[in-house]
Amino acid sequence: MIGAGHAGLAMSRCLTERSIDHVVLERGEVANSWRTERWDSLRLLTPNWQSRLPGFGYEGDDPDGYRTIPEVVDFLSRYAEMIAAPVQTRSRVSSLTPADKGFAVVTQTGSWRCRAVVLATGACNIARVPAIAAAVPPHVATISSMDYRNPRQLDEGGVLVVGASATGTQLADEIHRSGRPVTLSVGEHVRAPRVYRGKDIQWWMDATGLHDERYDAVDDIDRVRRLPSLQLAGSPERRTLDLNALTGIGVRLVGRIAGISEGKAQFSGSLHNNCAMADLKMNRLLGTIDEWATSKGLDGEVDPPHRLAPTEVESAPPLGLDLQAGRIRTILWATGYRPDYSWLEVPILDRKGQVRHDGGVTEHPGLYLMGMQFLRRRKSALIDGAGDDARDLSDHLAAYLKQASI
């Protein structure tokens, strides 16, 4: 196993259950990404009850709350201890190459030979920053969501946050409330209420089976894997953090950033369309939930159906912003993340640098992948999704080892 996040730990537990000898190589400590790569105020956007791992779950008295980062680190560390995961910390893998009957793995602390490898190094190792970032005028500071920790890191003055999915909306909210006026650049996004008919939206996604939808049952898996995250935040008040909530506190919306030229940012004219599309898709999701609730006879037990107000967008949002005028002091790129496979010397990457795989089984025998968006199910990248994927893939891996040893 490479990586001791929740995906690697879930797989380790499944391999132990099958008596498969293994080691988990981790460059930092258990839950390293949560320790080193998240902003201070982040809470999980999945409720406590939903962090289920094989043989482990939430036992506290706040199942509907949302964990803080120290709580996530504690949860995963306790899991590693409970399952006695054979983790070698401080063991960054610097190369993985095919070798006779398996693989050769080089780490900073030594070399390993093994018959099979599971890549559980995470989907979010590097901030995905668009190439136009190079054209930002030098007096405007730039930072990515990966390096952002809290508003005190930023100069006083205006901030352009680019990207309006879970990360961008949460950071726009926090930064604007810190007294730095935020302009938010909005592209395609997925809108959702935090609570619907008295239940968390994640409860509905779970109960209706939407989270269990399989990768081989959707029409365009490549597109679905690229979809932005739900616009959600975990807060003690269970607030819906959508664009209306942001404009309500004074955040200004502009379209998707299209370019930066001669010190001016240009935005596409698609803001109205993107917002209308997100409203439409959200209402479709809520309609699916309503139908399911009726079919299960739940209508008398949960609150009645309701709809959110359409996203409000000013009639002619600005198509340009002069970055030289001094109003914008910082640009924060909340434009997504990508994995880092710079150490992977097995030819399984596509031209976009992603591992080619069929539900986590790569085309190189004995090499598996965990923890990616919609790897095997809609929930695959969530903590809650690792268990089912690890069970499936450890079955495959066990069969592979058995057949390879004949």
Q: Which of 381, 390, 393, 397 binds ligand FAD (CB under 6 A)?
A: 381
Smallest distance, Å, CB 252 to ligand FAD?
24
Q: Which stretch binds ligand FAD (CB under 6 A): 23-31, 131-139, 237-245, 280-288?
A: 23-31
How is 106-160 classified by DSSP, letter by letter?
A: EETTEEEEES-EEE-S-S-SEE---GGGGGS-TTSEEEETTT---GGGSPSSEEE
Q: Is 5 in the site for ligand FAD (CB under 6 A)?
A: yes
As a whole number of angstroms, the distance between CA 6 and CA 75 comes to 10
As a whole number of angstroms, the distance between CA 105 and CA 404 comes to 19
Q: By the 8 A CB rule, do 120 and 360 touch?
A: no
Q: Is 151 in the site for ligand FAD (CB under 6 A)?
A: no
Decide whether 279 or 384 has the Cβ nearer to ligand FAD. Answer: 384
Q: Is 143 in the site for ligand FAD (CB under 6 A)?
A: no
**Paired strand residues for 107:** 93, 110
Q: Which stretch binds ligand FAD (CB under 6 A): 27-35, 215-223, 247-255, 396-404?
A: 27-35
Q: Which of 124, 127, 331, 334 binds ligand FAD (CB under 6 A)?
A: 124
User: Rg of the Cα trace of the chain?
Assistant: 22
Q: Is 373 in the site for ligand FAD (CB under 6 A)?
A: no
Share in percent of the chain as helix, strand, coil (round to 5)? 30, 20, 45
Q: Which of 343, 348, 391, 400 binds ligand FAD (CB under 6 A)?
A: 343
As a whole number of angstroms, the distance between CA 198 and CA 190 comes to 20
Q: What are phi and psi of 263, to 5 degrees?
A: 80, 5
Q: Is 3 in the site for ligand FAD (CB under 6 A)?
A: yes
Q: Which of 1, 11, 14, 45 binds ligand FAD (CB under 6 A)?
A: 45
Smallest distance, Å, CB 36 to ligand FAD?
8
Q: By the 8 A CB rule, do 68 and 43 touch?
A: yes
Burial class (CB in 10 A: 0-12, 13-18, 19+), 351: exposed
Smallest distance, Å, CB 261 to ligand FAD?
31
Smallest distance, Å, CB 385 to ligand FAD?
7
Q: How many C-beta atoms lie closer than 10 Å to residue 342's C-beta?
A: 11
Count CA atoms within 13 Å of residue 317 on its CB side.
25
Q: Which of 383, 390, 393, 397 binds ligand FAD (CB under 6 A)?
A: 383
As a whole number of angstroms, the distance between CA 67 and CA 42 comes to 9
Beta strands 328-333 and 158-162 are: parallel
Q: By the 8 A CB rule, do 210 and 384 touch?
A: no
Q: Which of 15, 16, 22, 33 binds ligand FAD (CB under 6 A)?
A: 33
As a whole number of angstroms, the distance between CA 70 and CA 6 comes to 15
Q: Is 4 in the site for ligand FAD (CB under 6 A)?
A: yes
Q: Which of 1, 15, 25, 105 binds ligand FAD (CB under 6 A)?
A: 25
Question: Which residues within the stretch 208-227 sit at the binding site for ligand FAD (CB under 6 A)?
Answer: none
Smallest distance, Å, CB 170 to ligand FAD?
8
Smallest distance, Å, CB 296 to ligand FAD?
25
Smallest distance, Å, CB 267 to ligand FAD?
24
Smallest distance, Å, CB 316 to ligand FAD?
33
Decide whether 33 or 274 has the Cβ nearer to ligand FAD. Answer: 33
Binding site for ligand FAD (CB under 6 A): 2-8, 25-28, 32-33, 38, 44-46, 92-93, 120-125, 167, 337, 343, 371, 381-384
